[in-house]
C-alpha cells in the first residue's frame, strides 16, 4: 500500500455534474478499493504494480491553495468529492476534508458531500455552519458479506445507516446514493434498503446504474470469479439498458410505497 503526501497547484475544479459548480478532491486514489469503481478508468497515470485501492496521494497543501482560490470566485455549489472518497481512512490522519470545509464555511458555499464513511459525522460542528449543506452516504446492498467483497475497505453498511440517522437528527439534509445498482447484490435487497432509508429519514435517494466500460468490468469480473463464480455470466447479462430500465420501474414502485423521494442519474 502506498500513502504519499503531494502538493497541488489547484483545488477547485469546474464540474460537469448537474447542479454542481465545482468539485474538490483532497486525495487522488481511494483506499476503499471498491471493485466496481469507475475512477481508475479516468486516471491518466496509475502507480506501477499497484491495484486500485492500494494507493492514495494526499494533497497536503489543498486547504492553503483553496484559500486563495475562493477569493476569486463567487458562491456556488461544491461537491466533495467526485473522483475520491473525502472520508476514506487516511482522512483520520490528514484531515484535509475537514480543513477544506473550514475554508469553504467562511464564504458559506453550498456544499454537497458524498462518501461511504461514517467519519463524516466527525465534522458535524463545521457542517452546521453552512446555510445549505447536503450529505450523502453510498449504500449498494444490505448483504454485509458482499460488501466485504465488493467494498473491502469501506465501513460496514450498518455504520452508514447510523451516520445518516445522526446527520438527520443534527438537522443536516441527507441523501442515500444507491449507485451503482448491482445485479443480485442490490436488486435482491431493494425493499429492505428503502425500508431502512425511510427509518433513518433521508430526504431523498439518488440512483445510478453500473458502468462497465474500459477496465471496470475486467476488475469486477475478477472479483466475482474469485468469490461468486456462478454469478459471473448472468451478472454481465444484467448490465444492459433494458435491464436497468426495468429495475428503474421497480425502484420507483418501492420508493413510492415507502414515501421516499427518488432521483435517477440514468
Model confidence over 63-77: pLDDT tens digits?
Answer: 999 999 999 988 899
What burial class does residue 42 get, using C-beta atoms within 10 Å of its C-beta: 0-12 exposed, 13-18 middle, 19+ buried?
exposed
Task: Say which residue, 124 or 47, is predicted with more confidence.
Answer: 124
Domains of the chain, earliest start first: 2-264 (3.80.30.30)
d(Cα 9, Cα 65) in Å, to the nearest integer? 7
Beta strands in the chain (DSSP E): 2-6, 13-14, 22-23, 27-29, 55-59, 77-80, 110-115, 133-138, 173-181, 204-209, 262-264
The sign of the CA dihedral 157, 158, 161, 163 is: negative
Does pLDDT of 49 surpass 90?
no
Does pLDDT of 60 surpass 90?
yes
d(Cα 174, Cα 200) in Å, to the nearest integer? 10
- Cβ pair 11, 23 in contact under 8 A: no
Strand order in the sheet with 55-59: 2-6, 55-59, 27-29
pLDDT digits (tens, 9 = 90+) for 195-213: 999 999 999 999 999 999 8
Instruction: Please calculate the CA angle 123-97-260 and round it to the nearest 5 degrees.
Output: 60
Entry field: residues in the chain: 266
Q: Report residue 244: phi and psi, to 5°.
A: -75, -25
pLDDT digits (tens, 9 = 90+) for 105-152: 999 899 999 999 999 999 999 999 999 999 999 999 999 999 999 999
Which stretch of DSSP H or E encloses residue 250? helix 241-257
* Residues of the chain above pLDDT 70, percent: 100
Mean pLDDT of 177-205: 98
Residue 147 CB partners (closer than 8 Å, separation 6+): 140, 141, 154, 156, 157
DSSP 10: -
Alpha-helix runs per DSSP H in 51-143 = 62-69, 91-94, 96-105, 124-127
pLDDT digits (tens, 9 = 90+) for 223-233: 999 999 999 99
Does pLDDT of 239 surpass 80?
yes
CA dihedral 141, 145, 148, 150 (to 10 degrees): -50
Cβ-based neighbour number of residue 46 at 10 Å: 13
Amino acid at each position: 500500500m502506498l500513502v504519499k503526501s503531494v502538493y497541488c497547484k489547484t483545488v477547485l475544479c469546474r464540474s460537469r455534474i448537474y447542479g454542481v459548480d465545482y468539485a474538490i478532491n483532497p486525495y487522488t486514489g481511494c483506499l476503499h478499493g471498491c471493485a466496481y469503481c469507475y475512477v481508475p478508468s479516468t486516471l491518466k497515470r496509475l502507480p506501477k504494480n499497484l491495484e486500485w485501492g492500494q494507493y492514495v496521494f494526499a494533497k497536503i497543501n489543498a486547504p492553503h491553495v483553496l484559500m486563495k482560490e475562493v477569493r476569486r470566485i463567487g458562491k456556488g455549489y461544491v461537491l466533495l468529492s467526485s473522483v475520491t472518497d473525502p472520508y476514506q481512512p487516511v482522512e483520520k490522519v490528514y484531515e484535509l476534508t475537514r480543513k477544506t470545509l473550514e475554508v469553504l464555511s467562511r464564504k458559506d458555499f453550498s456544499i454537497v458531500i458524498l462518501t461511504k464513511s461514517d467519519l463524516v459525522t466527525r465534522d458535524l460542528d463545521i457542517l452546521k455552519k453552512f446555510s445549505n449543506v447536503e450529505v450523502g452516504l453510498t449504500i449498494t446492498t444490505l448483504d454485509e458479506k458482499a460488501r466485504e467483497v465488493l467494498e473491502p475497505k469501506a465501513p460496514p453498511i450498518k455504520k452508514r445507516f447510523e451516520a445518516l440517522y445522526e446527520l438527520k437528527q443534527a438537522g443536516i439534509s441527507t441523501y442515500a446514493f444507491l449507485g451503482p445498482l448491482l445485479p443480485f447484490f442490490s436488486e435482491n435487497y431493494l425493499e429492505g434498503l428503502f425500508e431502512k432509508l425511510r427509518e433513518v429519514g433521508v430526504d431523498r435517494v439518488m440512483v445510478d446504474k453500473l458502468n462497465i466500460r474500459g477496465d471496470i468490468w475486467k476488475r469486477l469480473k475478477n472479483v466475482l470469479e474469485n468469490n461468486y463464480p456462478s454469478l459471473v455470466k448472468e451478472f454481465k447479462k444484467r448490465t444492459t439498458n433494458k435491464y436497468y430500465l426495468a429495475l428503474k420501474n421497480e425502484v420507483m414502485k418501492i420508493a413510492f410505497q415507502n414515501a421516499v423521494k427518488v432521483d435517477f442519474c440514468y
